[in-house]
Amino acid sequence: MLAKANRIVRGDDFRRIVRTGRRAGGAVAVVHRARPEAAVARFGFIVSKQVGNAVVRNRVKRRLSEIVRAELDAIEPADIVIRALPAAGRADFATLRAGIVPLLERRS
């Protein structure tokens, strides 16, 4: 799990990042990146019902969180929202990681 300082939880923050941030897409997710409001990288995850049932959605969220936690030191401070696409529900961990890490490394 990500530290509290690295999580986005307010709906207003999610809306601001998705609407005003720069977007980079891949096969399994779309990453929205906006200017940071804090001195650290903060992350939020959007996993809709199109991804799968509750078990699948929660598994995808846990996997995304673990991928981000492992890459946290290499990511410059920004507010980032990761929106999972339906393919993320069918992807294994290695495929999901391969699809997310390049999107996280892109600069805004």
- The number of folded domains in the chain is 1
The CATH number covering residue 58 comes to 3.30.230.10
Residue-wise pLDDT tens digits, 68-98 = 999 998 889 999 999 999 999 999 999 999 9
Neighbours of 72 (CB within 10 A): 15
The candidate with the shortest Cα–Cα distance to 96, out of 73, 72, 67, is 67
**Is this prediction's pTM over 0.75?**
yes
For the segment 97-106, the average pLDDT, to the nearest whole number, is 90
Cα atoms found within 13 Å of the Cα of residue 90, Cβ hemisphere only: 6
Tokens 């906006």 correspond to what residue?
34
Strands 22-25, 79-84: pairing kind: unpaired
Residue-wise pLDDT tens digits, 39-61 = 899 999 999 999 999 999 999 99
Domain residues for the domain of 64 are 4-105
SS3 101: helix
What whole-number distance in Å separates Cα of residue 50 and Cα of residue 32? 19
